[in-house]
Amino acid sequence: MLLELFGIITFIVFAIMLLIAWRDFKTGNGKLPEAFILAKKNGTISSKLWKAYQEYPDKQRFLLIWLQMQKIKALNLKGDMAELGVYQGATAQIIHLMYPEKSLHLFDTFSGFTQADLEKEKGEAATYTPQHFADTSLQKVKMKLGQSKNIFFYPGKFSEQSSKASSIHFCFVSIDVDLAKPTADGLRFFYERLVDGGVIIVHDYNPKWPALMEVVDEFVLQIPENPVIIPDKDTSLVIIKNT
């Protein structure tokens, strides 16, 4: 009797999954962008990038980055790429795989938050300690990304490491640090070094991180661009510098 009941429940669950998949197919929800489908058919999506897409936890964020990268390539923008807030390297990996010819500069403590950056936080970030996101290391990230002459690491506080890249211009920047102070520091540093048409994506722009939203909103009031908010998993704010 239990086996029969289990079989019925399994069938119902499978049927629901099929209905959801059919609904998404008919409505377009969950469907890959046509440009990405075409690129995969043409063989311009490498097997490593396709695997990274399958493993990446936020598909919408992945595709946001990929589509922006295609625009950067089409415009042949000069400048390097950067990420502030690397953690275990998942996003750094896809950025590198999407444009391996470009230099990628990675900024992180690679050991979790610093106490100074946690001060005056609000919302979820107010519950963080230096142990949050500490389950990583520079060596682990290097192993994940593999050997490349185009990847550069800056371990330590961004406010202390950024001067090493002060002469570099950037075409693409990902800021994903969850905290207000390093986000504000990153926006000020990268925006003035962003080439015309270049892109900055700020992750976690949502009410769970109110202090982060506040510093982003304050910064946006000082620039001529009107950012776009993207509804990926934790919401991203996209700044494209005017030409």
Strand partners, 174: 83, 201
Calpha distance 59→90 (Å, rounded)? 12
* pLDDT recorded at residue 121: 95
Tens digit of each residue's pLDDT (9 = 90 or more) over 124-179: 999 999 999 999 999 999 999 999 999 999 999 999 999 999 999 999 999 999 99
**Virtual CA dihedral for 31, 235, 174, 212, nearest 10 degrees?**
180
Comparing C-alpha atoms, which of 200, 172, 145, 176 is closest to residue 69?
172
Q: Tell me how many degrees the CA angle 75-189-230 measures, rounded to the nearest 5.
A: 55
Domain 43-240 has CATH 3.40.50.150: yes
SS3 state of residue 213 = helix
Q: 121's torsion region: left (phi>0), alpha (psi -120 to 50) or beta?
A: beta
Report residues of the chain scoring pLDDT below 70: 1-30
* pLDDT recorded at residue 15: 53
Calpha distance 32→105 (Å, rounded)? 29
* pLDDT recorded at residue 85: 98
* pLDDT recorded at residue 31: 78
Q: Residue ranges of the domains in the chain?
A: 1-31, 43-240
Calpha distance 189→202 (Å, rounded)? 13
Asked whether the beta carbons of 107 and 92 are under 8 A apart, the reply is no
The DSSP bridge pattern shows strands 104-108 and 151-155 to be: parallel
Asked whether the beta carbons of 125 and 175 are under 8 A apart, the reply is no
Calpha distance 26→156 (Å, rounded)? 48
Q: Is 123 exposed, middle or buried (0-12, 13-18, 19+ CB in 10 A)?
A: middle
Asked whether the beta carbons of 68 and 159 are under 8 A apart, the reply is no
Helices (H), the chain: 2-27, 34-41, 47-55, 59-75, 90-98, 115-118, 138-145, 158-161, 180-191, 210-220
* pLDDT recorded at residue 16: 53
* pLDDT recorded at residue 20: 44
